[in-house]
Amino acid sequence: MDLSLTDAERDLAELCREFARKEIAVRAPRAWYEGRCDTDLLREMGGLGLLGMLVPPEWGGIGMSTVGFVAAMEQLGVADQSVAAAWQAHVTIGSLPLYLFGTDEQRERWLRPLAEGRALGAFGLTEPGAGSDARGIRTRAERRDGGWLINGRKTFISNAGTDMSFGVTLLARTETPGGEPAYANFVVERGTPGFTTGPKLNGIGWRGLDTRELFFDDVWVPDDHLLGDPATGLGQFLRTLEVGRISIAALSLSLTQAVLDLATGYARERVQFGQPISRFQAIQFKLADIATELEAARWLTYRAAWLRDTGRPFVKEAAMAKLKASRVATWAASEAVQVHGGTGYMLDSPVARFYCDAKVLEIGEGTNEIQHLVIARQLGC
Ligand SMILES: Cc1cc2nc3c(=O)[nH]c(=O)nc-3n(C[C@H](O)[C@H](O)[C@H](O)COP(=O)(O)OP(=O)(O)OC[C@H]3O[C@@H](n4cnc5c(N)ncnc54)[C@H](O)[C@@H]3O)c2cc1C
């Protein structure tokens, strides 16, 4: 197998590396500590074409491969996980439903501004009573006056409440004409009467990511806000999440690389018992283990991306990549704090920030228990 990057993928990774070093690493930590989403940074990324990563040029994107997207994420996520999290949520679950299931009119209206970096995309599946169990959602859409009346509530929705947000693509319960339960996807734009957002939620990590509750009280949308097939909306949303898993795996790689670099740098400088702690075998083994596990997770992730790019089945591999890479990230972040000792426990040390950011990688876009279920089903269970 040839897993080397193409020229276009390498150029993109280089662009992201420079932007991450010059802009994100310098500005984003402040937003993290302030618990604020830095949409100025996201707009600048839009100006570089990064917000239209997986959307073809005819709809305003740059039509990058999934492998290129992973390579870009590896560069961006080492600088700041919140910015990278907002970016990836926009690129995958925020934009792809519109690209994959929208009509040309819908793509022109909503996808193009997202791909051109003029607006931020959001995906609304989770509800207070339904997270892993997506079929349990209670938000309803009923046919009314030539359109749809939506009532319900979503929670933990990223990117829907910023000054750059366009609104949300959501999953709602409907009924077939025969009265059977069905699910459909709708676009609800910001400013639609009855659509409101709660305050930004306060997580232990990804503090620069805007995540909120969304409320839909008699929100009426016309028929052209229905996305794709009204009977298979759940399948449409779950299909989008398959790419989201590769994305979270890539985010996990970047976090692991970041904490490995921080721990290695610290170990070479910190002197105890008259020598740098990097001379102690116990410390060396920690760093060597992180590097080895990172490499294993990296190839699972690139292979899942390559399978998608070459039109092969990738559901099992994407779930494996997400499972492995997120586990490696949370473990590596803990080990990296250990290498830093008390310094690593203090919130103003960068490694502590990554430690806080790591846990959600095992939760978002399908918990790791759900990844086990996906893999087991693919094995025939
Ligand atoms: C920062 C952040 C951002 C998010 N952004 C978005 C977003 O933009 N859009 C969106 O729609 N959602 C978003 N989410 C929601 C996220 O996808 C859910 O939190 C996740 O899917 C889990 O759902 P839950 O929190 O309701 O947990 P639950 O489903 O209640 O799960 C609780 C526990 O039970 C386990 N469990 C559940 N079912 C099973 C089972 N069958 N077998 C074994 N174990 C099981 C879970 O793995 C977990 O450990 C976000 C969450 C966070 C924290």
- Ligand 1, atom nearest to 132 Cα: 29
Confirm or reject: Cβ of 206 under 6 Å from ligand 1.
yes
Q: How does the average pLDDT of the chain come out, rounded? A: 96
DSSP assignment of 101-156: H--HHHIIIIIHHHHTTSSB--EE--BTTBSS-GGG---EEEEETTEEEEEEEEEE
* Superfamily name with CATH number, domain 123-231: Butyryl-CoA Dehydrogenase, subunit A, domain 2 (2.40.110.10)
Contact by Cβ (8 Å): 337, 356: no
Q: What is d(CA 80, CA 103) in angstroms, rounded to the nearest whole number?
A: 35
Taking only the tens place, the pLDDT of each residue in 233-252 is 899 989 999 999 999 999 99
Q: How much is the pLDDT for 201?
A: 97
The pLDDT assigned to 334 comes to 98
Q: Is 369 in the pocket of ligand 1 (CB under 6 A)?
A: yes
Helix axes 81-89, 350-358, angle to 10 degrees: 40
Joined tokens for residue 36:
């604020």
**What homologous superfamily is domain 7-115 in, according to CATH?**
Acyl-CoA dehydrogenase/oxidase, N-terminal domain (1.10.540.10)
Q: How far is the CA of 252 from the centre of ligand 1 (A)?
A: 17
367 Cβ closer than 6 Å to some ligand 1 atom:
yes
Which residue's structure tokens are 């996906």? 374
Q: Does the CB atom of residue 48 touch ligand 1 within 6 A?
A: no
Q: For residue 134, report the distance from its CA to the centre of ligand 1, in Å.
A: 10
Q: What is the pLDDT, as a whole number, of residue 112?
A: 98
Domain positions in the chain are 7-115, 123-231, 235-378
pLDDT digits (tens, 9 = 90+) for 110-151: 999 999 999 999 999 999 999 999 999 999 999 998 899 999
Q: What is the pLDDT of residue 176?
A: 82
Task: Respond yes or no: is residue 365 known to be catalytic.
Answer: yes
CATH code of 235-378, in short, is 1.20.140.10
pLDDT under 70: residue ranges of the chain: 1
**pLDDT on residue 230:** 86
In ligand 1, the atom with minimum distance to the C-alpha of 130 is 26
Specify the pLDDT at position 200.
97
Interhelix angle for 39-47 vs 25-34, to 10°? 150
| pLDDT tens, residue by residue, 149-202 | 999 999 999 999 999 999 999 999 998 878 888 999 999 999 999 999 999 999
Q: How far is the CA of 319 from the centre of ligand 1 (A)?
A: 15
**Cα–Cα distance for residue pair 227/98, rounded to 1 Å:** 7
Residue-level pLDDT at 13:
98
Looking from the CA of residue 209, the nearest atom of ligand 1 is 1
Whether 81 contacts 205, CB under 8 Å: yes
| Ligand 1 touching residue 139 (CB < 6 A) | no
pTM for the full predicted model: 0.97
